[in-house]
Homo-oligomer: A and B are copies of this chain.
Amino acid sequence: MDDKIAARLFVTGGLAAGARLTLARGHGHYLAHVLRLAPGAAVALFNGCDGEWRGRIESLAKGGAAVAVEKQLREQRPDPDIWLVFAPVKRGPLDFLVQKATELGVSALVPAITRRTIVERVRRERMEANAIEAAEQCERLTVPEIRDAAPLSRILDDWPEGRRILLCAETGAAEPIHDVLRRTGHAGPCAILTGPEGGFEQTELDGLRKLPFVTTVGLGPRILRADTAALAALACWQSAHGDWRMRPPRPD
């Protein structure tokens, strides 16, 4: 049989040798009609907690494809603990942000309604679908957690102890992000916070800066779009404190 992995799929069932999984409708369609695979083809499976496994397509019936789980390919390992708390942007930039942040290894995406946030409706299912697709394609072993949108003030009221916030703000005092990352060392759980296209309101910024777990970071002299700032800060954090000492898995 051909062990070459033809697709990589996020599944919700438990993964162990001998298990048998029914795939989601979308995955069955994708395997049968987009990739034109047949029973017997090998796929890679991950569920966020059991590592990566080789699975074998057993059937591609209309109601649901079935896969037999064969052998573990990679062990699960903990992801860097970095949240992105962001004022939601319009649909196109939001799709993009979710995909790129997933590639860059974000652990949770937390949409925060700020005072100047214009976007009212955040489709969580759409964010989840984008995150899953990006995770499947980038060799992640997890899918980032997607939170429901909530007011920033409420998110801060419930803020977990010990998690620092790197606040990306374009006005007022800020320490260059490079210096902050060097100074703080590998200091545990973290979150990047970015505002809406119009920026935070001054009173919001004043309130944020008073919080003991908030550090304002600078991303240079240009005014970055909200999604650019989020991805730039995420890349800087990952390179300094995340898992960027590791290399991608070897291709088969």
Contacts and interface: CB of A to CB of B under 8 A. Distances in A.
Contact of A139 (B103, B222, B232, B249): B222
B176 A224 contact: no
Nearest to A246: B221
A65 interface: no
The main secondary structure of chain A at its interface with chain B is loop
Copies of this chain, whole number: 2
A178 interface: yes
A6 interface: no
A178 B232 contact: no
A25 interface: no
Contact of A222 (B140, B232, B233): B140
Contacts of A232: 104, 231, 235, 238-239
Contact of A176 (B105, B137, B174, B239): B239
Interface of A: 96, 100, 103-105, 137-140, 170-171, 174, 176-178, 218-225, 228, 231-233, 235-236, 238-240, 242-251
Residue from the set A140, A220, A243 with the largest chain B CB neighbour count within 10 Å:
A220
B223 A138 contact: yes
Contact of A248 (B137, B170, B231, B245): B170
11 contacts: A103-B222, A104-B232, A137-B223, A138-B222, A220-B243, A220-B245, A221-B247, A221-B248, A222-B248, A228-B231, A231-B235
